Amino acid sequence: MTTRAFPMLVAVLAALPALAQMPSPDEVKTVSGQTAAALKAVSLPRLKDHVGGTRNNTVARYNAVRVAQDLAGKDLPAGATFTWYAVPPLSNIQRLADQYPVDGKAAAPLRIVACRDEFEPASFQIYPFADAEKVVVKAGDLRAEGGAVIKADKVDIKVVKIWYQDGNGWYSYFNDTGLKLCPDLLLNDENMIRVDEKHKANFVRVNLKDKDEYIWITPPAEIDPGFNVAAEPVRDAPTLQPVSFKAGEFKQFMVTVRVDADAKPGLYRGEITISPESAPTANVPVVLRVLPFLLPQPKTYYDTNADFFAMLYCNPGYGTFYTASGNNAKEAEAKVYRKLKNQFDHNVTSPLYYGLWKGYSGLEGVERDLGIAKKIGMKLDPFFEAYSCVNGDKAGRYYEILRNGSIATKEFQRILGHGNIYPAGGEEPGPRTIVASRNGWRAAHELGNLVMCNGGDRRHYSGYADDFRVGGGFAEKDQADFMHRIQGKIGNYAGPHTGPENPDYMRRMHGMNLYKKDYDMMYNYGYFEGEWNDLRAYCYRITLVYQTRDGFIDTLPWEGVREGLDDIRYATLLKQLAERAIAEGRQKNVDKYYTGRKALQFLACLNEETCDLPEARLEMIRHIMAIDKVLGNGK
């Protein structure tokens, strides 16, 4: 065994970021050698110049030649200084600045398929042949042939910021001591974060009254005092700001179209204009198919009548925001609203306030918080983790639970209009605590409530009293089967925790992986529990969004979660229609019967751990449309 004091870079082709999708050194060499042919086939002078300028950088040359090859025969303005690639928005591929998009299509339209009442993403990457500043990227209206319009303000464009995350970035939620570049943030103002590649450091802009200041947010943990962005004035712009292009560096944009529930079905067309200050504008075509279906709320796979819930544990709320805003109630309430709205718009529709009930002294806060949740339309029936019923083996605690529970039930009934509430049975209680909580849980049941409790499998000492067990770790079908066999429900967290930046992975693990394993709930930890500095994380870097003074910055994995839950909504629609077709088809209409059953067969055979999720979504849509046809709805 030999040792050395400092890490060394990989010897072979040190210039190559060794990522999964990076071509082999052989391929890089081969493609780079095709420069002359590529230049001959393309007519863009700026691209030719650019390729010529890459002779000293193997990767840059490889990328430039690949782009030139892709653009051969394409009709681009002679003065064009960039092109774009339509790319899958939520891919396993890390789209770094020097990563040629192996799954992208050059100068192709963005194709989007969405139901009504859905957000649907698309993405493109710019490949500039020349540097450019103040490039305006703007969406136009999307118009259908019949005159229907989806206004431009429903087309949100954000720049995907590549910044430093810890050495486990993209792949796990654990803390590490090193840093690496990772695409993650969805920003309106790319200059809000400054990335210093020379020193491997991220900086965030703090908007002081008289000036802006950049604060180093990735110091080593040992010297990081903790940067409180809630208290510090950190803000993103409300809309997309002009961006800059650097020759040879890919830059990704995320496009999210909001299709309202009342949108007219049909094929919409529009474009995104990209206007550099002193170069021709490019128009990226956008084609949107709005399907004639209203996307239902998610139900479970095992029962189309049973709700599938989504919530996120257990971020700070009003109190923290109030303090951070300098005791400004209005600002704090606005932030609570934005937090819940952001969750709601990402399909996380059940709010979670662990132990919201703190006695009458906190009633005003309960009414305020639930009022905001109601205003947004969040799902409050059932209402989860309404009060705590942990412990209770001591008489004092038992009677306290009984009293608190009884008052909480009464007050929630008044505020919510129902008594369907689940108190929290504990916080990852161990076997001893569970046994010590039997009286407390019993008290909750005596009050007509049901118990929800996170933690590990406890079938040998608690199953009968567990109404909703939220299991930690990777989801397992047999755990769900057990809970359902004893007429309980099951949720999941930490399978994985939030943190991995890979949006496809997050989509899968928060969506079909839970759905197909018969889970009833996604209840992950957490929304923004992690900090801006991965290095400072104690153990996990558990975050889906980044908190600013007045709001939250979305990320690729957060978009993945939304799509994962949308996958469940599509599967729900498929199952609902299939069940109808089967029921109707049994009355001697074999086509209906078979069409419904084929859809179910497709879903049953779908491997939630390995399937290609975009393909699975489109296949579900195909089945949905086929069933719709046999049901005669389309007529």
Q: Tokens 């608190």, residue? A: 404
CB atoms inside a 10 Å sphere around CB 159: 20
Q: Whole-number minimum distance, CB 607 to another protein, in Å?
A: 9
Q: Which of the ranges 307-315, 372-380, 523-531, 618-626 carries the binding residues for another protein, by CB under 8 A?
A: 618-626
Q: Whole-number minimum distance, CB 398 to another protein, in Å?
A: 7
Report how far apart the first and last C-alpha atoms of the chain are (Å, whole number): 74
Q: Whole-number minimum distance, CB 456 to another protein, in Å?
A: 14
Burial of 419 (0-12, 13-18, 19+ CB in 10 A): middle
Give, in order, the Cα–Cα distances in Å from 209 to each of 163, 233, 596: 26, 9, 62
Residue 8 interacting with another protein (CB under 8 A): yes
Residues 117-156 that bind another protein (CB under 8 A): none
Q: What's the length of the chain?
A: 635
Closest-CA residue to 306 (of 456, 466, 457, 480): 480
Q: Which of the ranges 31-39, 146-154, 400-408, 561-569 carries the binding residues for another protein, by CB under 8 A?
A: 400-408
Q: Which of the ranges 13-21, 234-242, 298-306, 365-373 carries the binding residues for another protein, by CB under 8 A?
A: 13-21
Q: Whole-number minimum distance, CB 242 to another protein, in Å?
A: 25
Q: How many residues line the site for another protein (CB under 8 A)?
A: 107
Q: Which of 40, 52, 615, 633 binds another protein (CB under 8 A)?
A: 615
Q: Whole-number minimum distance, CB 362 to another protein, in Å?
A: 11
Torsion of CA 89, 93, 94, 100, to 10 degrees: -90
CB of 111 or CB of 134, closer to another protein: 111
Residue 316 interacting with another protein (CB under 8 A): no
Q: Whole-number minimum distance, CB 73 to another protein, in Å?
A: 19
Rounded distance, CA 63 to CA 54, Å? Answer: 9
Q: Which of 53, 140, 167, 456 binds another protein (CB under 8 A)?
A: 167
Rounded distance, CA 268 to CA 481, Å? Answer: 44
Q: Phi/psi at 47 (nearest 5 deg)?
A: -70, -40
Residues 362-381 that bind another protein (CB under 8 A): 363-364
Q: Whole-number minimum distance, CB 278 to another protein, in Å?
A: 34
Residue 589 interacting with another protein (CB under 8 A): no
Residues 205-264 that bind another protein (CB under 8 A): 206, 208-209, 213-216, 219-220, 222-226, 228, 231, 233
Q: Sign of torsion, CA 103 109 115 119?
A: positive
Residue 514 interacting with another protein (CB under 8 A): no
Residues 457-486 that bind another protein (CB under 8 A): 474
Rounded distance, CA 17 to CA 10, Å? Answer: 10
Residues 191-210 that bind another protein (CB under 8 A): 199, 201, 206, 208-209
CB of 314 or CB of 606, closer to another protein: 606
Q: Which of the ranges 248-256, 298-306, 503-511, 585-593 carries the binding residues for another protein, by CB under 8 A?
A: 503-511
CB of 177 or CB of 278, closer to another protein: 177
The amino acid that residue 295 corresponds to is L
Q: Which of 49, 103, 153, 277 binds another protein (CB under 8 A)?
A: 103
Q: Which of 56, 396, 460, 487 binds another protein (CB under 8 A)?
A: 396
Q: Which of 41, 238, 399, 464 binds another protein (CB under 8 A)?
A: 399
Which tokens belong to 120? 């649907």
Q: Whole-number minimum distance, CB 504 to another protein, in Å?
A: 5
Residues 39-98 that bind another protein (CB under 8 A): 92-93
Q: DSSP secondary-structure letter at 240?
A: P
Q: Which of 57, 191, 328, 420 binds another protein (CB under 8 A)?
A: 328
Q: Phi/psi at 12 (nearest 5 deg)?
A: -75, 130
SS3 at position 95: coil
Q: Tokens 């960039």, residue? A: 82
Torsion of CA 143, 149, 154, 156, to 10 degrees: 10
Q: Which of 174, 337, 354, 482 binds another protein (CB under 8 A)?
A: 174
Contact 170, 157 (CB under 8 A): no
Rounded distance, CA 447 to CA 465, Å? Answer: 14
Q: Whole-number minimum distance, CB 594 to another protein, in Å?
A: 8
Contact 135, 276 (CB under 8 A): yes
Contact 268, 142 (CB under 8 A): yes
CB of 134 or CB of 622, closer to another protein: 622
Q: Whole-number minimum distance, CB 620 to another protein, in Å?
A: 10
Which tokens belong to 175? 């803390």
Which tokens belong to 129? 């042949």
Q: Whole-number minimum distance, CB 94 to another protein, in Å?
A: 9
Q: Whole-number minimum distance, CB 466 to another protein, in Å?
A: 23
Rounded distance, CA 446 to CA 403, Å? Answer: 11
Residue 590 interacting with another protein (CB under 8 A): no
Q: Which of 81, 125, 172, 391 binds another protein (CB under 8 A)?
A: 172
Residues 341-360 that bind another protein (CB under 8 A): 359-360
Residue 1 interacting with another protein (CB under 8 A): yes
Q: Whole-number minimum distance, CB 344 to another protein, in Å?
A: 26
Closest-CA residue to 544 (of 535, 534, 555): 555
Q: Which of the ranges 69-77, 129-137, 148-156, 322-330 carries the binding residues for another protein, by CB under 8 A?
A: 322-330
CB of 26 or CB of 78, closer to another protein: 26
Crossing angle of helices 58-71 and 25-32, rounded to 10°: 60
Rounded distance, CA 328 to CA 550, Å? Answer: 12
Residues 592-611 that bind another protein (CB under 8 A): 594, 598, 601, 605, 609-611
Q: What is the DSSP pairing of strand 243-245 with strand 132-139?
A: antiparallel
Q: For the window 285-314, what string marks contact with another protein as x by the rule CB under 8 A?
A: --xxx-------------------------
Q: What is the DSSP pairing of strand 82-87 with strand 118-128?
A: antiparallel
Rounded distance, CA 425 to CA 228, Å? Answer: 32
Residue 432 interacting with another protein (CB under 8 A): no
Crossing angle of helices 58-71 and 45-52, rounded to 10°: 160
